[in-house]
Structure 1
C-alpha cells in the first residue's frame, strides 16, 4: 500500500484507519469466556459493586433466592423516597431543587433557616467571575452548549487562587460556586451560540436574587423574561427528578474516578459533564425528541396502535429513525417494571402539555410506552422487562416550556451538579484509594524487528 497522500489530510486519515482495523479486533464472545464484566455489569445486568455511598439508592429489582426479580422502581435521595419528596414540595407550593441540593450535599433535610441561608449563598455565587463571560464564553463560542459548559468549568480553575486545595472547606466552596454558576454558564453559552452559529440576536438578562434556580433559567433564557409559576414549578420538578441517580451511573462514576486520583474539582466535574453529553447517557432525551418527530412524519394515523406498533417494529429492525435499532426512552439498566421519574413527570406534565398544544405528542409517547415492550418481545422472542425511562417524557416537557433543544442536556447537567458534587466530596473524604479496574490483555507476544527487516 502506498503512503504518499499528496497533501490530502482526509486520505491520510483513511489510511490510518485502515491500518488500525487490520490489527485491532476484540471478539465480544471472548469477554464471556474470560469472565470479563463488560460495562462493569454482571451477567444478569446488575452492576459490579465498586463502592459504598450514603447519597442515593436506585431500586429496580430484588434478589430473591439469588434470582433477579422485577419490582416497581424506587429512587431514594438520602433514604427519602422520591415520590414522598415531590409530594411534600408540591403540597406546600414551594420550589424544591435547592432543598434537594442541601439534602444531597449534607444528608439531612434543611430547616427553614438553613434553606434561607443556602438560597442566599447560591444567590451570592450565581454571578460568574468578572470578565469570565466575555473572555471564556463570548470569545470562544461553541456550537454545542455541553461542550462549552465543560470548557467553562475547566476555565474556572484559572480564576481560583486555591484551585488545587483539597481541604473540605475549599472543595465545598468550589462545589457551591459551580452549582450556582452552571445555570448562568449554559444560558450565556446558548445566547452566544445563537449569535455565532444561528445568526440570531442574543440577549443577556441578569438574574433576580430572590428567584429559584428554575425561575432563573426561564427568566434568562426567554427574550421577554416572562414565565408563569406553573411553568417554573414544572421545570423545578424536572431538576428534582434528574438531580441524582446513584454512584454507578456513568457521569457520577466518572466524577468519582477522577476524584479518586486527587485531581482538582474543576477537572472532576468537567469529566462528569463530558460523560453526560453522550447519547447513551444524558443526550438520550434529545434522541427521543428526534424519534418523535420521525414518528409524526411517518405514521399516517398516529392514534392507531397498529400503525405505531408497525413503526416501532421498523425501528427495531433498523429500517427507520437513525437506524440504530433502538427505541429511545424505553428500557433502563436498573429499572424493570417502572422508572419512578418517568411516572412522576408524565403525571404532572399532562395539564401543561395539553394546554400548550402538545397533547397529541404526549399521547403518542404514552403509546410508545405501552406498545414498545410488546413489539420487543415479538421481534426478539424474549419476554424482557422493559419500562419507559425518564428520557421518554423529559424532552417533551422541555418543549412544552419553550426551552430550545440545545439546552435539553445542559439542563440535565444543571440538575445533576449537586449530586456530582456530593459524590466528589464523599470520594475525597472516604474513598481512600485510586479507582483502577483491571483489563485482560489479549495480545500475543512478539519480538522487536529492526526497521530495515519489516
Structure 2
C-alpha cells in the first residue's frame, strides 16, 4: 500500500472511527466518582498535589474567614514580583537576578551576582558545530520543536547526562538557561533561510550583555536595539520566569523529575507541555483575535463597534466561535494579574517610543470593555492576564510570531530548573495519581470467532 493513496486514507479513516467510538466516556461518571477533571474542583480551583517554597500565586484575600477576590499577587522565593520589578527598574539584568533568586532562594549580593554572571557567560555557547550540524541541518517551522529536539540532542554532548546529583543538575540547568536563547534564535534564522528564502544570518552572543540584549542582537540583522527595548524584553522574561508549581509545564517538570530521569528528558517534556495552545501559545490566540477585530472594526475610537464585536465573541458568533475573549481571565487571579499590571505600564512606554499610542489605547479600551461584559455575563470579576499584553509588546519589539512561545520557554526554563532541583532535593515518591476504570471486562475470542 502506498502512503497517501486512497486505500491508505480509507483504512486510516476507519481506524479513527474506532478510536472515537471506543474512547468516549460517559461524562456523568466524573460526577459519580468525584473525579477532579483537570485536577480542579467544581469551583475551578486547583487540587493540592504538592508543596513548594519557590513561588506563591494568589488571587484572593481572607476576610472574616471568607475568600474574597483581590488584586493578584505573585511571590518568587518570598519576594513580591512588583517589589522585584521596582528594584530592577533601570537595570538590564533583572532576568539574571531572577534566575539567581529562583535557583538559590535569595537575591544575590553584588559579589555573588558578578560571579554568577561570569559563570553564565561561560555557558552561553553551544557545542562546536552544533548550530550547523543539529539546528540548521534539520530546520523546522516550529521553534518549540527546535528547542525540544536540541535539548534531547544535547544529552549526547554531556559527559555525565544521567547524573542527577544536585551539583550536576545545577550545572546542566544553568547551561540550558544560557543556551535556550541561542537555540531559539538560530532555529528561527534557519527557518527564515530554508522556508522563506531569506539570508542566513548567524550572530554570536556578545559577552557583557544581558539575556534580553543578546536575544535582540541575535535575531536582528543589524544587531541594534534601544535601551528601552532591551529593558522591556528583560521584564517580559522576569514576568514569565515562574508561576507556581501547579501550572501545566511546571507540574510536568515535577512529574518527570520524580521518576529519577535525566535533566534533558525532563526539560523536553516541559517544552512539550508549554507548546500547547492552552498553555504557552495563549498569546498567539490574542494576536489572532486582535487581527480579526481590526479587520471588522475600522474605527478604533468607535467604542460601540468594539463592544458589539466583543459581545459577538461571547455569543460564539465571531472569530473562532469559542465564546472566549482571549487574554481575559485566569485560573487563579480574579481582580487583576500582577504580571499584566506591570507589563501594561511597559507596553505604554514602548508604545510612546514606537509611535503606537493609538493601538495601545485600543488594547486598554478592549480590556476595560471586556471586563464589563464578562462581569455581566458571569457575575464575577474577570481581568486581563499577562498574555493580553505580551503579544502586543513582542510585536512592538519586531519579534516574529514564531518566537512568541519560545520566549516564554527562554524565561520559564529558569522556573522549571528551580522546581526540578526542589523535587530532587526533597527526594519525594514518584508522582502517580489514580485513574478509575469504567470500562467492561470482556471474554477473549479467537480471531475467526469475532463478529463485530
Sort the TM-score into its range (normalised by shorter chain).
over 0.9
Taking the aligned partners of 2:316 and 2:415, their CA distance within structure 1 comes to 36
SS at match of 1:166: coil
Could you tell me whether the CA contact under 8 Å between 1:42 and 1:48 is conserved in 2? Answer: yes
Q: Which runs of structure 2 are paired with 1:121-160 in the superposition (5 Å)?
A: 121-160=119-158
Could you tell me whether the CA contact under 8 Å between 2:282 and 2:327 is conserved in 1? Answer: yes
SS at match of 2:445: coil
Aligned counterpart, 2:285 = 287
Taking the aligned partners of 1:391 and 1:304, their CA distance within structure 2 comes to 24
Aligned counterpart, 1:27 = 26
Q: Which runs of structure 2 are paired with 1:191-206 in the superposition (5 Å)?
A: 191-206=189-204
Could you tell me whether the CA contact under 8 Å between 1:44 and 1:68 is conserved in 2? Answer: no
Q: Which runs of structure 2 are paired with 1:209-358 in the superposition (5 Å)?
A: 209-358=207-356
Quote the offset at 1:253 in angstroms. 0.5
| Cα RMSD, aligned residues only | 1.6
Taking the aligned partners of 2:24 and 2:64, their CA distance within structure 1 comes to 39
User: What do residues 237-291 of structure 1 show as CA deviations (whole Å, max 9, x unaligned)?
Assistant: 1111111000100010011100000110001011111111111111011111111
SS at match of 2:70: strand
Could you tell me whether the CA contact under 8 Å between 2:347 and 2:360 is conserved in 1? Answer: no
User: What do residues 19-62 of structure 1 show as CA deviations (whole Å, max 9, x unaligned)?
Assistant: 11222212333212221111111222211111111100001113
Quote the offset at 1:377 in angstroms. 4.4
Aligned counterpart, 1:407 = 403
User: What do residues 284-319 of structure 1 show as CA deviations (whole Å, max 9, x unaligned)?
Assistant: 111111111110111133222221121112212332
User: What do residues 315-371 of structure 1 show as CA deviations (whole Å, max 9, x unaligned)?
Assistant: 123322122222110010000010000010001220221331332222222122112
Quote the offset at 1:229 in angstroms. 0.8
Could you tell me whether the CA contact under 8 Å between 1:60 and 1:71 is conserved in 2? Answer: yes
Aligned counterpart, 1:188 = 186
Aligned counterpart, 2:177 = 179
Could you tell me whether the CA contact under 8 Å between 2:169 and 2:263 is conserved in 1? Answer: yes
SS at match of 1:300: coil
Aligned counterpart, 1:52 = 51
Taking the aligned partners of 1:6 and 1:307, their CA distance within structure 2 comes to 49
Could you tell me whether the CA contact under 8 Å between 1:61 and 1:71 is conserved in 2? Answer: yes
Aligned counterpart, 2:380 = 384
SS at match of 1:8: helix
Aligned counterpart, 1:396 = 392
Which one of 413, 416, 434 corresponds to residue 412 of structure 2?
416
Structure 1's unaligned 5+ residue stretches are none
Moved more, 28-37 or 240-249: 28-37
Taking the aligned partners of 1:230 and 1:447, their CA distance within structure 2 comes to 69
Pair 408,70 (structure 1): closer, same or farther in 2 beyond 3 Å: same
Taking the aligned partners of 1:191 and 1:411, their CA distance within structure 2 comes to 15
Pair 356,114 (structure 1): closer, same or farther in 2 beyond 3 Å: same
Pair 447,62 (structure 1): closer, same or farther in 2 beyond 3 Å: farther
User: What do residues 396-441 of structure 1 show as CA deviations (whole Å, max 9, x unaligned)?
Assistant: 1011111111111101111111110000000011041100111111
Which one of 153, 157, 164 corresponds to residue 166 of structure 1?
164
Taking the aligned partners of 1:12 and 1:199, their CA distance within structure 2 comes to 37
Aligned counterpart, 1:441 = 437
The count of residues paired between Structure 1 and Structure 2 equals 447
Moved more, 355-364 or 343-352: 355-364
Taking the aligned partners of 2:356 and 2:27, their CA distance within structure 1 comes to 43
Taking the aligned partners of 1:172 and 1:265, their CA distance within structure 2 comes to 10
Pair 32,374 (structure 1): closer, same or farther in 2 beyond 3 Å: farther
Quote the offset at 1:221 in angstroms. 0.6
Taking the aligned partners of 2:142 and 2:311, their CA distance within structure 1 comes to 32
Taking the aligned partners of 1:32 and 1:302, their CA distance within structure 2 comes to 46
Quote the offset at 1:188 in angstroms. 0.3
